[in-house]
Amino acid sequence: MKKLVKNNVYWVGKVDWELQKFHGNEYSTHEGSTYNSYLVQEEKNVLIDTVWSPFADEFVENLAKEIDLQKIDIVIANHGEVDHSGALPALMKHIPDKPIYCTANAVRSLKGQYHQDWNFKVVKTGDKIDIGNGKELIFLEMTMLHWPDSMATYLTKDNILFSNDAFGQHLATEKLFNDQVDQCSLYNESIKYYANILTPFSPILKKKIEEVVALNLPIEMIATSHGVIWRDDPSQIIQRYAQWSNDYQEDQITVIYDTMWNGTKKLAEKISEGIALEDPGSVVKMFNLTKYDENDLITEVFRSKAVVIGSPTISKSILHSVAGFIHLMKELRFKGKKAAAFGCYGWSGESVKEINALLAGAGFEVVSEGYKNQWNPDLDAQKAAIEYGRTLARSFAKQAVEGKDR
Ligand code: FEO
| CATH code where residue 282 lies | 3.40.50.360
First-to-last alpha carbon distance for the chain, in angstroms, is 50
Question: What does the DSSP assignment read for 84-147?
Answer: HHTTHHHHHTTSTTSEEEE-HHHHHHHHHHH----EEEE--TT-EEEEETTEEEEEEE-TTSSS
Question: Is residue 406 one of the residues assigned to a domain?
Answer: no
My answer on whether 14 and 37 are in the same domain is: yes
Determine phi and psi for 283, rounding to 5 degrees: -80, 125
The SS3 of residue 74 is strand
**Residue 83 Cβ < 6 Å to ligand 1:** yes
**pLDDT by residue (tens digit) across 128-184?**
999 999 999 999 999 999 999 999 999 999 999 999 999 999 999 999 999 999 999
Distance 83 CA to ligand 1 centre (A): 6
The Cα–Cα gap between 57 and 83 comes to 14
Ligand 1, atom 3, residue with closest C-alpha: 81
With a cut of 70, say whether residue 406 has pLDDT above it: no
Specify whether 19 is located in the same domain as 144: yes
CATH number at residue 217: 3.60.15.10
- What is the arithmetic mean of pLDDT over 355-373? 98
Residue 165 CA, closest ligand 1 atom number: 1
49 in contact with ligand 1, CB cutoff 6 A: no
CA distance 154 to 176: 18
Atom of ligand 1 nearest to the CA of 35: 1
pLDDT digits (tens, 9 = 90+) for 374-405: 999 999 999 999 999 999 999 999 644 444 33
Q: What CA–CA distance (Å, rounded) separates 21 from 225?
A: 17
Asked if residue 184 and residue 58 are part of one domain, the reply reads yes
Contact 309, 322 (CB under 8 A): yes
Residues 31 and 146 grouped into a single domain: yes
Hey, is 47 helix, strand or coil? strand
Of all protein residues, whose CA lies closest to atom 2 belonging to ligand 1? 81
Tell me the CA distances in angstroms from 297 to 121, 200, 273, one per residue in order: 41, 16, 20
Q: What pLDDT does residue 212 have? A: 87
Active site residues: 23, 79, 81, 83, 146, 165, 193, 226
- Whole-number Å distance, alpha carbon 298 to ligand 1 midpoint, is 19
pTM listed for this prediction: 0.96
- Pick from 228, 244, 260: which residue ends a domain? 244
108 part of a folded domain: yes
Ligand 1 center to residue 45 CA distance, Å? 24
Hey, whose CA ends up nearest to atom 1 of ligand 1?
165
70 C-alpha to ligand 1 centroid (Å): 27
- What sign results for the dihedral spanned by CA atoms 68, 69, 74, 80? positive
d(CA 302, CA 370): 22
The last residue of a domain, from among 194, 218, 244 = 244
The reply to whether ligand 1 has any atom less than 6 angstroms from the CB of 81 is yes
Answer yes or no: are the C-beta atoms of 47 and 72 closer than 8 Å.
Answer: yes
Answer yes or no: do 218 and 264 share one domain: no
Residue 184 lies in a domain: yes
Indicate if ligand 1 lies below 6 Å from the C-beta of 226: yes
CA distance 210 to 207: 5
Average pLDDT, the chain: 96
Three-state DSSP state, 285: strand
Whether 166 and 300 share a structural domain: no
Q: Is the CB of 165 under 6 A from ligand 1?
A: yes
Residue 1 CA to residue 47 CA, distance in Å, equals 15
Ligand 1 in contact with 225 (CB < 6 A)?
yes
**What range defines the domain where residue 198 resides?**
3-244
* Rounded (5°) CA angle 64-65-68: 50
Looking at the CA of residue 197, tell me the nearest atom of ligand 1. Answer: 2
Model pLDDT, residue 227: 98
Alpha helices by DSSP H, listed for 115-232, are 183-193, 202-215
Same domain membership, residue 260 and residue 239 = no
Does residue 86 contact residue 16 with C-beta atoms inside 8 Å?
no
Ligand 1 atom closest to 168 (CA): 1
Question: What is the pLDDT confidence band of residue 14, given thresholds at 50, 70 and 90?
Answer: very high
**How far away, in angstroms, is 84 Cα from ligand 1 center?**
7
Q: Decide: 79 in ligand 1 pocket, CB within 6 A.
A: yes
pLDDT in tens, 277-336: 999 999 999 999 999 999 999 999 999 999 999 999 999 999 999 999 999 999 999 999
d(CA 342, CA 297): 18
Contact indicator for 153, 76 with CB cutoff of 8 Å: yes
Are 325 and 179 in a shared domain?
A: no
Contact 354, 380 (CB under 8 A): no
Same domain (yes/no): 257, 239: no
Give me the long-range contacts of 124-130 (CB less than 8 A, separation at least 24). Answer: 129/44, 129/74, 129/101
User: How far is 223 from 137, CA to CA, in rounded Å?
Assistant: 14
In terms of domains, do 240 and 284 share one? no
**Nearest ligand 1 atom, CA 226:** 1
Q: Of 361, 257, 363, which Cα lies nearest the Cα of 309?
A: 257
User: pLDDT value at position 213?
Assistant: 86
Shared domain for 238 and 263, answered yes or no, is no
CA distance 139 to 142: 9
Whole-number Cα distances in Å, 150 to 42, 154, 180, 205, 250: 25, 14, 28, 12, 30
Answer for the pair 317, 354: CB distance below 8 angstroms, yes or no.
Answer: yes
Looking at residues 341-354, what average pLDDT do you find?
98
Is 371 a member of any domain? yes
DSSP state of 396: H
The CA-based angle 219-222-224, given to 5 degrees, is 160
Query: What is the per-residue pLDDT for 1?
Result: 86
Identify whether residues 179 and 40 lie together within a single domain.
yes
- Is 29:57 a contact under the CB 8 Å cutoff? no
165 Cα: distance to centroid of ligand 1 (angstroms): 5
Atom of ligand 1 nearest to the CA of 146: 2
Q: How far is the CA of 24 from the centre of ligand 1 (A)?
A: 12
Query: How far is 363 from 200, CA to CA, in rounded Å?
Result: 12
